[in-house]
Each structure stands twice: as structure tokens, then as C-alpha cells.
């Protein structure tokens, strides 16, 4: 299984790699927020594989009837789970609230409430498939893992709760930017979960 995960920054090289067939062997694409939807639609079209995504704090509010507020052909996984090629994939979008009336921004309490709305579906997965989740995607990192002390980049405690409840094998996120010099800090292990910051893109082979 091979996954292309992207977040936060449009990478010109990805355009050319996709056009040259470099990503033709990926099984699906995951978007972790704060990317132009036209960029995601390009990857979806050129690679011709399913795309699942969550919105970031710079993305528009979701509107199912507006073509500009969703990725055409993609699946918004915010607070949802899907069975994708035998893998249970779920998502939680948005970031911590740092601007009054910020779009896709939530207080810790509001984010926790949104995450709790997923618990019944995770329980159903566990009863049906013997596990709650294989892959969790989000825009924000969990609180205390890959986050920062700045107000805008504090992690969401709701994600820590989901990691404890669902115990996925992988958690992919964006929002905080890691560069080559501190690449090792972009991956962590928390219990059974391998947590990866995918900024700006990563190909993950499982």
C-alpha cells in the first residue's frame, strides 16, 4: 500500500512529478488541509486515484452546494470514516481558534465536541471490522506532539482523545511546518500510532 499525503504548501515539483507518472503507483491521496482545492483536484485528475481530505484553517467553510467550497471528486472526511481499499480512514479538520470568528478554527472544548461526534462511528467500526480506525488524518497536530507554543499552532486535545479511543496505526497531519534541518522531529510514536507531519508532501509505503 502506497499513499501520497499533502498539506499546507503547493509544491511546483509535485505538478511535474504527477504529470510524469511519478505517483502512478499510489493507492490513494490524503489531503491534510490548507491547500488550494484546485491543487488537490489536479492531483486527483492526473494521478487518477481516490482523494480524501480534511479542511485546514485557511480553507473555506464546507458547503456541499458550492463548487468552490469542496474538492470536486474528492471526499471530505471531516468527522467521518471511510473504508478505503481495506483501510479504515477517518478525519478531523480545522485548527485551534486564534482569530475571532475564524473559519475552521475551534476552541479546545468545541474541537472535543466535534471529535466526540465520531465515537459512535468508531465503535461501529470496531464491532464490524474488529478495529476502530487504521489511519487518522487531521490538519492540526495533537496537543503536545509536533505542535508549537504559538497561539495559532497549539495542538488539539481532541486529537489526543481520538488517538486513545481509536488507536490507529497512523496519524497524518499538517499545520506546523518542518524543514529539512529538523526532519527527524516530524515523526513520533504514541502508543500503537505512528504520527507524521506530512508538510508539504510525503509518500508513505505501508
Contacts of 86 (CB under 8 A, 6+ apart): none
pLDDT the model gives residue 62: 82
pLDDT the model gives residue 179: 61
Q: State the DSSP code for 49.
A: S
Instruction: Compute the distance between CA of residue 136 and CA of residue 115 in angstroms, rounded to an integer.
Output: 12
pLDDT the model gives residue 12: 95
- Residue 49 grid coordinates: 486515484
pLDDT-wise least confident of 43-47, 106-110, 123-127, 147-151: 147-151
Q: What is the average per-residue pLDDT within 141-152?
A: 94
Is the model's pLDDT at 180 over the cut of 90? no
Instruction: Compute the distance between CA of residue 54 and CA of residue 139 in angstroms, rounded to an integer.
Output: 7
Instruction: Compute the distance between CA of residue 173 and CA of residue 141 in angstroms, rounded to an integer.
Output: 6
Contacts of 19 (CB under 8 A, 6+ apart): 46
Asked whether the beta carbons of 134 and 87 are under 8 A apart, the reply is yes
pLDDT digits (tens, 9 = 90+) for 106-122: 999 999 999 999 999 99
pLDDT the model gives residue 14: 96
| Residue 184 binned pLDDT confidence (cut-offs 50, 70, 90) | low
- Which residue blocks in 8-93 are alpha helix, DSSP H? 12-19, 37-47
Does the CA dihedral 130-131-132-135 come out positive or negative? negative
CATH 1.10.3720.10 is right for the domain spanning 2-205: no
Domain ranges across the chain: 2-205
Q: What is the average per-residue pLDDT within 170-196?
A: 84
Is the model's pLDDT at 199 over the cut of 80? yes
Residue of 194, 197, 193, 153 lying closest to 179 (CA atoms):
197
Is the model's pLDDT at 68 over the cut of 90? no
pLDDT the model gives residue 183: 52
pLDDT the model gives residue 186: 87
Helices 157-166 and 108-116 pack at an angle, to 10 degrees, of 30
Contacts of 168 (CB under 8 A, 6+ apart): 88, 90, 132, 133, 134, 135, 136, 192, 193
Give 31's strand partners.
6, 53
Instruction: Compute the distance between CA of residue 136 and CA of residue 195 in angstroms, rounded to an integer.
Output: 9
Amino acid at each position: 500500500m502506497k499513499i501520497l499525503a499533502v498539506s499546507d504548501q503547493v509544491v511546483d515539483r509535485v505538478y511535474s512529478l504527477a504529470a510524469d507518472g511519478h505517483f502512478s503507483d499510489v493507492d490513494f491521496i490524503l489531503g491534510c488541509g490548507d491547500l488550494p482545492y484546485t491543487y488537490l483536484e489536479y492531483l486527483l485528475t492526473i494521478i487518477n486515484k481516490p482523494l480524501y481530505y480534511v479542511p485546514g484553517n485557511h480553507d473555506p467553510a464546507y458547503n456541499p452546494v458550492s463548487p468552490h467550497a469542496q474538492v470536486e471528486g474528492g471526499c471530505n472526511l471531516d468527522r467521518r470514516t471511510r473504508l478505503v481499499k481495506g483501510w479504515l480512514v477517518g478525519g478531523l479538520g480545522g485548527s485551534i481558534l486564534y482569530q475571532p470568528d475564524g473559519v475552521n478554527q475551534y476552541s479546545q472544548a468545541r474541537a472535543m465536541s466535534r471529535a466526540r461526534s465520531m465515537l459512535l462511528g468508531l465503535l461501529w467500526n470496531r464491532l464490524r471490522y474488529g478495529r476502530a480506525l487504521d489511519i487518522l488524518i487531521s490538519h492540526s497536530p495533537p496537543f503536545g506532539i509536533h505542535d508549537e507554543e504559538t497561539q495559532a499552532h497549539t495542538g488539539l486535545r481532541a486529537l489526543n482523545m481520538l488517538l486513545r479511543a481509536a488507536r490507529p496505526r497512523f496519524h497524518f497531519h499538517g499545520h506546523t511546518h518542518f524543514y529539512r534541518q529538523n526532519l527527524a522531529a516530524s515523526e513520533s510514536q504514541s502508543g500503537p500510532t505512528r504520527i507524521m507531519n506530512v508538510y508539504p508532501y510525503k509518500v508513505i509505503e505501508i
